[in-house]
Structure formats: C-alpha cells, structure tokens
Amino acid sequence: MTSTQPTSAASSTAAPTPAGVPRRRLAISVGGVAVLLAALDAYVVVGVLTDIMDSLHIADTRLERVTPVVTGFLLGYVAGMPLLGSLSDRFGRRALLVASLLGFGAGSALTAASGDILLLTAGRTLQGIAGGALLPVTVALVSDLWPDRDRHLVLGNIGAAQELGSVLGPLYGVAVAALLGSWRGIFWLNLPLVVVAVALVWWAVPGGPPTSTAPRRTDLVGGLLLAVALGGVVVALYNPDPERSVLPSWGWPVLAGAAVVTVLFVLWERRPKTRLLDLTGAAKGPFFAALTASWCAGAALMVTLVDVELVAQTLLGRSGVEATLVLTRFLVALPVGAVLGGLLLRSGRLSERVVTAGGLLLAALAYVLIAGWPVDLPAARYLGFLPRMDTDLALAGLGLGLVIAPLSSAALRATPPPQHGVASSAVVVARTMGMLIGVAALTAWGLHRFHTLTAELDFPLVFGKPAEEQKRLLSAYADALQSALRTEYREIFLITAVVCLAGAVSAIFLGAPSRPEPSGAVLRS
C-alpha cells in the first residue's frame, strides 16, 4: 500500500550488517570532528584580535572596527542554521555536510587572504553560515543511524564536541598563530582539514534523503525571512557604546524591521504547503518546551562566559590570561556534563524531563552561590578544603552541560523523522539566540546599574592633603567602586539563576518518552 505519510527510519530500512556498524561510527565521528572545527573557529579569533588589528593597521583605540569579525561569524551561524537544517531533510545529510564543509573552506580562504576589514568580515560570515549547518545536520544524522533508546550517549558526545570548541578555541588560535607565524595561518590550516573531512564524509555518510518518503520542496522564502529576522535582532542588539543607552542608535528601527519580517514569516508559514518548520504530526508542547529550555540555557551560558572573566579582572585583579584560566573551571565542566547527560539517559532510569530540570536546577543553585561570592574569594573553602570559586563554576558548567543531550533528544522525539534536521537546528538556534539576547540585555542593564550605583561617587580631590589622608580617600573611593561592582555582578548572577529556574519549569512540559524503538540501528547506503 502506497502512502505519503512519513515513516520512521527504523521501520523503513533494515538493521545494519556487521560491516555497517563501524561505518556509522566513522560517519558520526567525522560529523563530530566537523562540529568541533566549526566551534573552534567561533572563538578562535578572540586571542589574536590585536594581531589582526595590527595587520590591518587599525589603532588599538578603535576596537569596535574589528568586532564584526567576531559578530559576523555568530550572525551567519544563527541566520543560516534553520534553512540549512531544512535542506538536509530534503537532500540528505551527506550532501549538506559536504556543501557546508566546502563553504566553510571557502570562508576560511577568504578570511586568510583578506586585506581589509570588509573582506575579513565577509569571510567570517561565510564561515559562520556554513559552520551553522554542521551541528544540526550531525545531530539529525544521529537520529538517522541510531534508534531512540541508543542515541542519547551519541548526542552527549556531539554536544561535548561543540562545548569543547568553546574551551579550546582561544588557546587553539593562539597556538596555531604562534606555530605558523601569523593569525592567517589559523584559517589556511582549515583547508587541508576540510579536504580530509569531505573525503571521509563522502565515504562514510549515507547519501540521499534520510527517509523513504518522497522529497519535499524546501521553503526558501520562509528560510530567508527567518534569517533576515534573526539577523536583524542580532544587529539591533549589537551596541558599540552600551554605556550611553541600552540599544544603539539604530537598535529600535532595526528591531521594528525585524518584528515586521517576523510577522511576514508567520503569515507565510500559515500556508498549508512547503513550510520551513512543519509541525504536522509533532508534539508541539514538548517541542516548544525544549526550545524554551534551550534558550534559557544559552542565556546563562553566555552571561557566564562574559561576566566571570569580568569578575576575575575587576574584582580579583587577574590579567586577561589569568581570567581565562579562571573561566576554564566552568568550560571544562560543560563537556563533562554533556557526556554525563547522555549516560544518564542511556541508563533508562531518568527521562529527558528529569535530566533537563535537574541540570537547570543545579545551574540555578550554582549561580546563587556565585552571586554570594565573598570579598576574599580565593581563600573561601567548602568543608575546609574545596575551593569555593572552582566548585561553584564547575557546578554551573556541569548543570548547563547536562541539558544538552536531553534537549536535543526531546526535540527529535517530538517531531517526525522528516523534520529532524530542522528540529535539531531550531534547538541550537534557540540556544544561540538565548546567548545573544541574554548577554546583551544583562550587560546593558548591568552597565546602567553600575552607573546608577556610582552616580554620586566623585573622584576624591587629594592635592595638597597629607599623604595619609590621600591614601585614606583613594582607598575609600576604590572600595566604593568595588562595592558597586559586587552589587552589579551579584544581581546579574541572581537574574541568571532565575532564568535557569524558568528553564527548569519549562522542562516539566517535555513529556515522557514513548516506547523505545527496536534495538537495531539504521544505516542507509
């Protein structure tokens, strides 16, 4: 009997032969390495920005001119991901992985060869667009090759690869630039890596559409509308001078334009055919609960990346490198949590709902503890021997890492197989938008709060006064500034804890897993 309804991968194909098992492992390993490569390049320029500025003859005082090199990648990553995830459902995982790797290589070459900031930004943006597809397509590939009950650990490993990029990215960039003698070598090195990855993907990853259903048309208009809307939000929230206002001068007009485009996207998607995010047959409650929890986790993640380094530099007096080392307590715990989350789901004793809620509650507790950091933080200990700073940061990273695998798994479980590519990309988009909106909002609010706390604090006039009096006045002024900073950071981390609690509440609506699929994994040739 012929049917146009989507069928599960498990029911439409046979179990793999023994030779197919190592092949699928190679396929997902190559996808994981590609995810790691893109994640590394998201952060790789952080440690070499001053070198880039020197080579492009940009003064040290004009840092805002080079920040699009960082934001361009993230903008491309967010804007291109939904459309590319949808394309993988139509043309297959292998085709999209190869195309994305080739685009990533082209962007790397343009970045390495660029002689001005416009070409450099264009290259980074192209890298971001292509790199944005690698994670959701790889996650969707897991759903193609592994049955429901066996995919949790693999998803955790893919999540760990993504998080490892944030840990190693800055160090990787500095090391490669030093080894090859220039920051451009970072991007030239991508080219041979891309060639090897393309060859392995072509051999190991199954070709063709991921299911036996007829190919669907891709909603190019919807994808472009959504990309423009997301890009508008990113541009509107980028403020080179947040001390004067929450948004830049173009912020509200661009946000209004993004809102109009969003309305057009919603109206376009109401059409019955060729939707970018077709939720026909999907469990909408669990799916949107996964997006909400992912948004909250992303906001907490980015606030931590920004504000922990600021705390280390402004309150602990650490240098830039030392502040990054402080942050590594959090970053190392993220991939550990991602793997642990996959293991907990794999055991079958805990559901996606429980692991997600537990992880976000643990993160919320950690941020409450961070908000209460004492003045003499380096000396603070739990139980007399556990360093408080290290413990609190590790708990926050562990909690946020725990939610990576269950959220991806819940989104895939809530959608039919033909929608797995766009579903996985939607989870990552929600998380990345949480990163952008969360850090922009809390940073802008924090700066405003700091200026409010110090509005009546004037620099003391010490000229002509005795040395002891000068010392006392300057010390009191420094203490007042430190107190204002502590208040600002305490309130930011308390708000972050509330965001994590909101994510934990949304996890309640993830729903319970359905009956597991048969144990045989699926491999299509």
**Structure tokens, 290:** 């996964």
Same domain, 359 and 475: yes
Same domain for 324 and 246, yes or no, is no
Residue 331 falls inside a structural domain: yes
Q: What is the pLDDT of residue 523?
A: 36
CATH assignment of the domain containing 423: 1.20.1250.20
H or E segment at 387?
strand 386-387
Are residues 255 and 193 located together in one domain of the fold?
Answer: no
Residue 320 CA to residue 335 CA, distance in Å, equals: 23
In the listed set 184, 210, 236, which residue is the last one of a domain according to the structure? 210
Cα separation, 104 vs 37, in Å, equals 10
Residues 100 and 164 in one domain: yes
Same domain, 438 and 325: yes
Same domain, 35 and 156: yes
In the three-class reduction of DSSP (H, G, I as helix; E, B as strand; rest coil), residue 382 is classed as: strand
Asked if residue 353 and residue 254 are part of one domain, the reply reads no
- Structure tokens of 156? 């955790």
Digit-coded pLDDT (tens) for 198-210: 999 998 888 776 6
**Which has more pLDDT, 445 or 253?**
253
Position 408 pLDDT exceeds 70? yes
Domain boundary among 275, 290, 315: 275
Identify the domain boundary among 210, 231, 249. Answer: 210
Considering the domain architecture, whether residues 342 and 469 belong to the same structural domain is answered as yes
The more confident residue out of 488 and 523 is 488
In a domain, 151, yes or no: yes
Asked whether 113 and 202 are in contact (CB, 8 A), the reply is no
- What is the CA angle 418-421-426, rounded to 5? 120
| Same domain membership, residue 263 and residue 389 | no
Do 422 and 402 sit in the same domain of this protein?
yes
Contacts of 293 (CB under 8 A, 6+ apart): 356, 360, 403, 407, 503, 504, 506, 507, 510
38 domain-assigned: yes
Q: What digits encode the pLDDT tens for the residues 67-79?
A: 777 777 877 887 7
Q: Provide the domain count of the chain.
A: 3
Say which residue, 325 or 448, is predicted with more confidence: 325
- What range defines the domain where residue 515 resides? 282-520
Is 525 part of a structural domain of the chain? no
215 within a domain of the structure (yes/no) = no
Q: Is residue 131 part of a domain?
A: yes
pTM for this structure? 0.73
Q: How many CB atoms lie within 10 A of CB 411?
A: 33
The answer to whether position 468 is within a domain reads: yes
The pLDDT of residue 443 is: 62
Q: Does residue 8 form part of some domain?
A: no
Asked if residue 383 and residue 257 are part of one domain, the reply reads no
Residues 104, 191 within the same domain: yes
